[in-house]
Amino acid sequence: MKVHSAALLTMTEAAEADMPADELTREVLKRIDRLDPVLHAYVTVDAEVATRRARDLDNSQRSGMLWGIPVGFKDNIATAGLRTTANSRILADWVPSADATVVANLRAAGAVVVGKQNLNEFGWSLPAADDLTPAPRNPWDTSSAAIGSSSGSGTAVAAGLCFGALGTDSGGSVRLPAANCGVVGLKPSHGLLPLEGVFGVPTLSDVGPIARSVADVRLVLTAAAGAAPQNRSPLSARDGLGSVRLGVLPDTDLPHDVNPEISAAYGEAIRQLERLGARVSDVRGIRSETATAAVRVILNAEAYAGHSSSLRRHPELYGASARIHLTQGAFLSAADYIHALRYMSRYTAMIDSIFESVDCLLTPTAPYLTAEEARRPDTHRRGGGDVFTSPFNLSGNPAVSVPAGFSASGLPIGVQMVARTANDYQLLWIAEQFEQATPWHERHPNIALGGVE
Amino acid sequence: MTDRAIDEYVRHIARLQSLALGDHELEALSVAVADLLRHAAKLAPDNSYPVPNGTVNGDSTVAPA
């Protein structure tokens, strides 16, 4: 597809075109002005500072892997001098004095920060009428909300309101919005990217890049890490995917309520990877109700620990949904939490053992096409929406969602690839082979192309 | 626990933890907590006797001397 706006280029294409930072930034800001009143991807836009920064970059020597690239951050990641709200009234006026480490690293790589992106309040609530900023819409169908919690980042990247973003993922919150918005989202190996200055739960959360191509995700990952991590060696590129052992879920391990169009796209992704040479075998036991249970217990216990004091002092400053979500952990016992941590150790060992016989696991990313399906009360309470993603927050493995098709109604579908812990670059190499052999990443939503969607 | 027992548990703990929650919030929280405790119950070991460190969860070979 012909790209009609510089803001829809990939970072690599923009760098190859040698485009001035000021031109890229002005184009992105113009699009935010035009589209964000509908999409609600941003909580705060920093147009003045971004414009000044871009001009300063144009007057300096080109250096840094993200030189002049407009990026955004989920608004639970601290930015010095730019308010950081977590989409909560309790932080409505908080302007951090220091950057989160990942923000400082992206600035050092030459990125231009255009603003802070919308999210479910503190990443653990459902959008509601009393949110500080209304919930982001899916750019492929604005009558539908975007799946969260890094929904603003997924929406902004897909609509060309930034080139790349950093979100956070504690159960799927980078991968699910990426799948739902037709872009690429990576949850790196646990701890690969520093969490200083980021709101999240320490045992499960990771900062993760969202971008329009796997190559761009790799760039943002490397820049956010501050230096290229040590796990860069790919499988033998000479053999294509012929050296890759791919583990897939047998039909019997797919939940009964997975959307049939997602099951079909998953089956086609398996066949595509086979055509590329991957050796496919069934792997059982990955999807586990017990793993989902352990994630729920750890997430709620640690979320409450982070908010207990302010929930007592200023409950009225939290939205109604966040108040319920963040309070649940108060009703767990210490033994519940310890049992969950012990299960996490056993589950991680089980996943490690699977990676002795496969190099990559393939699953659907999301079981549902829309946020509305994922947020049905019964589905949400049993953790139905993150059934494929949250197990890898428990085990700490790197996991990436890549575009894998579209529904008949035109909504994007993603598949998730997972690798051994610390093999993030190997994982991205496999994902890139799939991406380049399929057409899905070349499509843009009509609203991003200037049409009526 | 029954729904009523959960409801009482939630109100009791909320009071002890000084959490200011309205009646409608306590009702919503009771539903959420019931689900959460069902999740937690899946993780609880099912040993008849205490187990020493390093023993596999659910190992029934461990018994009092």
What is the ipTM metric for this complex? Answer: 0.88
pLDDT at A62: 87
pLDDT at A396: 98
Q: Is the pLDDT of residue A270 over 60?
A: yes
* Position B22, amino acid: G
pLDDT at B63: 55
Partnered with residue A415 across adjacent β-strands are A364, A402
Each residue's pLDDT tens digit, B10-51: 999 999 999 989 888 999 999 999 999 999 999 988 777 777
Candidate list A125, A149, A153, A401, residue with the active-site label: A149
pLDDT at A1: 47
Best B1, B26, B33, B43 member to test A by mutation, with max A CBs in 10 Å, is B43
- For A336, name the nearest residue in chain B, comparing CA atoms only: B40
| Mean pLDDT, range B39-64, rounded to an integer | 70
CB-neighbour burial class of residue A294 (10 A; exposed 0-12, middle 13-18, buried 19+): buried
pLDDT at B46: 77
| Mean pLDDT, range A190-213, rounded to an integer | 97
> Across the interface, which of A315, A339, A381 has its CB nearest the CB of B43?
A339
What are the E-state strand segments in A356-433?
Answer: 360-364, 399-406, 412-419
Each residue's pLDDT tens digit, A319-363: 999 999 999 999 999 999 999 999 999 999 999 999 999 999 999
* Position A414, amino acid: G
For residue A373, what are its two tokens?
A: 């399906």
CA distances from residue A237 to A242, A332, A388, A416 in whole angstroms, order as listed = 9, 49, 28, 21
| Mean pLDDT, range A68-96, rounded to an integer | 98
**pLDDT bracket for residue A453 (50, 70, 90):** very low
Per the annotation, the verdict on A357 as an active-site residue is: no
Task: Tell me whether residues B42 and A330 touch, CB distance under 8 A.
Answer: no
pLDDT at A252: 86
> Across the interface, which of A336, A346, A381 has its CB nearest the CB of B35?
A381
Predicted TM-score of the model (pTM): 0.95
pLDDT at A452: 40
pLDDT at A274: 96
Containing A432, the helix (H) or strand (E) segment is helix A424-437
Domains of chain A and CATH, by start = 6-452 (3.90.1300.10)
| Mean pLDDT, range A96-119, rounded to an integer | 98
pLDDT at A288: 81
Each residue's pLDDT tens digit, A284-300: 988 788 999 999 999 99
Could you tell me the sign of the dihedral formed by the alpha carbons of A425, A426, A429, A430, in that order? negative
Decide: helix, strand or coil at residue B48.
Answer: coil
**pLDDT bracket for residue A237 (50, 70, 90):** low
Best B8, B39, B51 member to test A by mutation, with max A CBs in 10 Å, is B39
| Mean pLDDT, range A212-217, rounded to an integer | 98
B56 Cα to chain A: minimum distance (Å): 9
Range name among A87-101, A411-425, B25-39, B47-61 with the lowest pLDDT average = B47-61
Task: Tell me whether residues A339 and B44 touch, CB distance under 8 A.
Answer: yes
% chain A with pLDDT above 70: 95
Q: Is the pLDDT of residue A381 over 80?
A: no
Each residue's pLDDT tens digit, A121-163: 999 999 888 899 999 999 999 999 999 899 999 999 999 999 9
- For B37, name the nearest residue in chain A, comparing CA atoms only: A332
CA distances from residue B21 to A35, A131, A299 in whole angstroms, order as listed = 38, 18, 21
Look at A107 and B24; give whichever has higher pLDDT.
Answer: A107
Look at A311 and A62; give whichever has higher pLDDT.
Answer: A311
B39 Cα to chain A: minimum distance (Å): 5
Containing A268, the helix (H) or strand (E) segment is helix A260-275
pLDDT at A446: 95
pLDDT at A253: 86
Mean pLDDT of the residues in chain A: 94
DSSP string for A12-60: HHHHHTT--HHHHHHHHHHHHHHHHHHH--EEEE-HHHHHHHHHHHHTS
| Mean pLDDT, range A192-217, rounded to an integer | 97
Range name among A53-67, A206-220, A224-238, A282-296 with the lowest pLDDT average = A224-238
